[in-house]
Amino acid sequence: MGKRRQPRIVVVGAGFGGLWAVRTLAFEPVEVLLVDRRNHHTFFPLLYQVAAAEIEPEAIAFPIRGLLRRFPNVGFEMAEVQGIDLTARRLETDGPPIDYDFLILAPGSLAHTFGVPGVAEHAFFLKDLDQAVAAQPHPVGFRAGGPGAGSAPPAASADLRDRGRRPHRRGVRGSPR
């Protein structure tokens, strides 16, 4: 009699939900495959600190393979899911299709403007590491033509544009040290 194949569980998304699902299944008699379009997990509670240039992006981005290293039955595939064929139990990705027996979807969320006019064009969204890094050189008051434009003294904003760098930032505490 042949050896029976373990069920394959595919988890889409390497955020908190996806990683929690993988951790829960890590030592069960199943094959687990984590699929995400990025090769790192971002610790979102500190994303605002990257946007404020208080910490480096590397401080909150962790390689997924490193997080999964101690789990013997878990693999990782860097791919973007394009669709799901429920009948064939297959994920369509930007690479080869991925077959599954069971599927867990934990892809995260998207920014929503709730239909407020102008929000999509003028707001700084903070949903991923790329957006946090992009927001760094644009503190309110120093972005020409964007949110807060004109609230900084003209000489200061012109000086910063001419030098091509960000203003120096310093942490502010509520009590003296």
- What range defines the domain where residue 97 resides? 8-105
CA 10 from chain center: how many Å? 19
Same-domain pairing of 95 and 160: no
Mean pLDDT of 67-75: 95
Q: Which pTM does this prediction carry?
A: 0.71
Strands of 102-105's sheet in order across: 74-78, 31-36, 8-12, 102-105
Which has more pLDDT, 48 or 153?
48
pLDDT band at 149 (very low <50, low <70, confident <90, very high): very low
Q: Last residue of some domain: 90, 105, 120?
A: 105
pLDDT band at 167 (very low <50, low <70, confident <90, very high): very low
DSSP string over 26-64:
TTSSSEEEEEESSSEEE-GGGHHHHHTTSS-GGGTEEEH
Residue-wise pLDDT for 16-29, tens only, equals 999 999 999 999 99
Q: What would the two tokens of residue 47 be?
A: 């994303």
Residue 3 located in a structural domain:
no
Q: What is the structure's pLDDT at 67?
A: 93
User: What CATH number is attached to the domain comprising 89?
Assistant: 3.50.50.60
pLDDT band at 140 (very low <50, low <70, confident <90, very high): low
Residue-wise pLDDT for 82-128, tens only, equals 999 999 999 999 999 999 999 999 998 888 899 999 998 888 888 88
**What's the total number of domains in the chain?**
2
